[in-house]
Structure 1
Amino acid sequence: MPKKILIVEDEANIRELLRLYLEREGYTVIEAENGVEGIKKWKSEKPDMLLLDVMMPVMDGWAVCKEIRAESDVPIIMLTAKGETADRVSGLEMGADDYIVKPLEMPEVIARVRAVFRRMAPDDAPEKLSFDNLVIDKQAYDLVIRGKRVDAPPKEIELLYYLASSPNRVFTRAQLLDDVWGFDYFGDTRTVDVHVKRLREKLEGVSDKWELKTVWGVGYKFETKE
């Protein structure tokens, strides 16, 4: 069954362009012209992904993202005309999985959409890592802390799994962008910092046998302790 993508964008010409390119790639496309309509269609259509504009009348993209994240981990890619780092970081902190700065380049949009779905696709065999009070299941995209499933966006789980797959190895931010995001990322390395910050909020105080650690001036590692 084709993946279903909801485009929430107030500019009709952009919606039409996105729809044409996404349908050409085999996706089913639903459209909404403002945030309120987007919320309604998200609830009724249950899409596999949202392409969400930031600046919209009635209800902006930040508000839509916040409301959806309160109930769902469905992947969200923000579409924004604001290129400032602060705006991009704010979107990621609200739970967006990615962002694309306008004017949109369709090959970039398609690459990002494919990358998200590729990360979500199950492998032939389960990929599960277990540590003290922590289980990371990449196939099911589950994060289990102290025996309880904790909601986390797919990219957070992918990043934690990648780091924990090589305990005590230090990865640079550039390496993490290349390997976790899975394509030539168009953003900056602060993307990694934001996702690590969100993971640490979930993992704080869980165990004294491992730690998601910053290696200053280099990057990050999942450190295990004897």
Structure 2
Amino acid sequence: MVALGKEGLESFGLEHAVDDFVTRPFDPAELALRASRLIRQRETHDGGRPITSGELVIDPSRCEVRLGADRVTLTFKEYQLLKFLATHPGRVFGREALLDRVWGSDYYGGDRTVDVHVRRLRLKLEEKGGQFIETVRNIGYRFRDR
């Protein structure tokens, strides 16, 4: 919960990489549902076999990403986005599809948050020497398998 006006919420969320937020006054039942959804998301994203593409290794059991010998530090949402795209190499996803699959169907906010997260994710991967996320103009994004 944050004590900001509605106009400040989206920028606050983007700056602080929050997974969800509610505005005041809020319905306690809605808050409980949102918390349950976030817990379920974390549980379903834990565990599993590592996903590899060239020197990139996404380890779901540790929620960790490595590029060669270097660890890539990501926010949880960046990690979820990369993992989702990497599990569907070559397939193009538009903003709406990524919002639904990565943020959840009850996400409330603008679709440009996808662009912001992709940009930050690219910068972090490129800093370590990797280029894995490709823009398909006017359509969306795809993971480029190596």
Pick the TM interval, shorter chain. 0.7 to 0.9
Question: Residues 162 and 182 from structure 1, CA distance in 2 versus in 1: closer, same or farther, beyond 3 angstroms?
Answer: same
Secondary structure at the residue paired with 1:100? coil
The one of 157, 172, 177 aligned to 2:99: 177
What letter matches 1:187 in structure 2? G
The one of 61, 65, 82 aligned to 2:5: 82
Question: Residues 143 and 107 from structure 1, CA distance in 2 versus in 1: closer, same or farther, beyond 3 angstroms?
Answer: farther
Query: Higher relative contact order at CA 8 Å, sep ≥6: structure 1 or structure 2?
Result: 2
CA distance in 1, matches of 2:88, 2:113: 21
Number of aligned positions between the proteins: 145
Q: Deviations over 1:161-211 (max 9, x none)?
A: 10111111110111111111233222221221221122112111523xx52
**TM-score scaled by length of structure 1:** 0.55
What letter matches 1:214 in structure 2? T
**TM-score scaled by length of structure 2:** 0.80
What letter matches 2:133 in structure 1? L
1:87 is displaced (CA, Å) by: 4.8
Tell whether 2:121 aligns with 1:217: no
Give the aligned partner of residue 163 of structure 1: 85
1:216 is displaced (CA, Å) by: 2.5
After the TM superposition, which residues 16-95 of structure 1 pair with which residues of structure 2 at under 5 Å, given as runs? 52-53=1-2, 55=3, 81-84=4-7, 87-95=9-17
What letter matches 1:95 in structure 2? A
Q: Deviations over 1:108-128 (max 9, x none)?
A: 423332232222226785232
* Kept in 1: contact 2:132–2:145 (CA 8 A): yes
Higher strand share goes to which structure? 1
After the TM superposition, which residues 92-107 of structure 1 pair with which residues of structure 2 at under 5 Å, given as runs? 92-107=14-29
Runs of 4+ with >6 A deviation: none
Give the aligned partner of residue 200 of structure 1: 122
CA distance in 1, matches of 2:12, 2:102: 21
Secondary structure at the residue paired with 1:198? helix
Q: Which runs of 5+ in 1 are unaligned?
A: 1-51, 56-80
Q: RMSD over aligned Cα, in angstroms?
A: 2.5
CA distance in 2, matches of 1:99, 1:123: 20
What letter matches 1:114 in structure 2? S
The one of 52, 73, 77 aligned to 1:151: 73
What letter matches 1:132 in structure 2? G
Q: Which runs of 5+ in 2 are unaligned?
A: none
Question: Residues 212 and 171 from structure 1, CA distance in 2 versus in 1: closer, same or farther, beyond 3 angstroms?
Answer: same
Secondary structure at the residue paired with 2:114? helix
The one of 30, 40, 51 aligned to 1:129: 51
Q: Deviations over 1:113-151 (max 9, x none)?
A: 223222222678523211122111223211112223232
Q: Which has the larger radius of gyration?
A: 1
